[in-house]
Amino acid sequence: MFKEWLNFIDRYKAASEAGFKAVESGEEIFQYSVEEIIKAKSEANVEQVVIVGYGGPRDGLAAMPSKETEFRQSFTKSLNYALALKCRKIHVCSGVMTSVDGQEVPYSSYEETYIKNLRYCSEEVRKVGLKILIEPISTIPGYFLTNTTQAIEILKKLNCDNVEMEFDFFHAQRTHGNLTKTLKENLKYIGHIQVSQVPDRGEPSSSGEINYQYIFQLLQDLGYNQWIGCEYNPQGKTEDGLKWIEDYGLEF
């Protein structure tokens, strides 16, 4: 959102002027110094609720065997930004599965590495009261973490109360659908929600497969009381497409 503002820094002010009280940021945040981001956030008077952890050129490193040292270095950078921004949740990206020296790496090696690195992250953020998010992503070829079932299995094996799932309705609908059952069964594992329409990733109110009037009522009925992120591509100007928030009885 707010990509009309080519300078990422300017999007903090744009979000605030549009009425948002909180923001989440992708990896663009690391193109700027901590001081620049703090200044933009402070001037916009918004809360930073999530940042996507620094993952380098491979969409993350957390599940990548033999990259543990590089991952820990990148996570330290992410943690420093989160602390400076008073952001309580860091999305740790798993990364894309690749061959090593021409040899295929078994799934078990990726999973073992992922759990090991997530446990390390859990221990580090526990010291400072933050939480880790993992998100199944369906649109990156070869991405390790792709669906809710897989994410829940990993969270159960990990068994760390400060590691949660970031539930993006777009990816959930694309991979398995059955959103009501999925939410009811897994809400206790969910620490953040993102919304957009399927298949074009437009505003929740745009034409598509998901009935968001029903979804938002369901979330209310289930007692979900955390942030909902607008992870969509506006069909026009960002501000012109925000009427759905009021129409669905929500607040910024």
Q: How many CA atoms lie within 13 A of 77 on its CB side?
A: 17
Specify whether 231 is catalytic. yes
Of these residues, 24, 164, 166, 231, which one is catalytic? Answer: 231
Using an 8 Å Cβ cutoff, are 129 and 89 in contact? no
**Residues contacting residue 48 through CB under 8 Å, at least 6 positions apart:** 22, 23, 24, 25, 41, 85, 86, 87
Q: How far apart are CA 121 and CA 132, in angstroms?
A: 7
Using an 8 Å Cβ cutoff, are 146 and 97 in contact? no
Q: Which of 221, 226, 230, 171 is nearest to 195 (CA)?
A: 230
Single-letter code of the amino acid located at 114: Y
Of these residues, 24, 111, 135, 203, which one is catalytic? Answer: 135
Residue by residue, DSSP assigns 55-104 as: -GGGTB-TT-TT-HHHHHHHHHHHHHHHHHTT--EEE--B-B---BTTBP
Q: How far apart are CA 215 and CA 40, in angstroms?
A: 33
Return the axis-axis angle of helices 179-186 and 148-158, rounded to nearest 10°.
10
Specify whether 135 is catalytic. yes
Widest distance between CA atoms in the chain: 54
Other beta carbons within 10 Å of 187: 15
Supply the residues annotated as catalytic. Answer: 135, 231
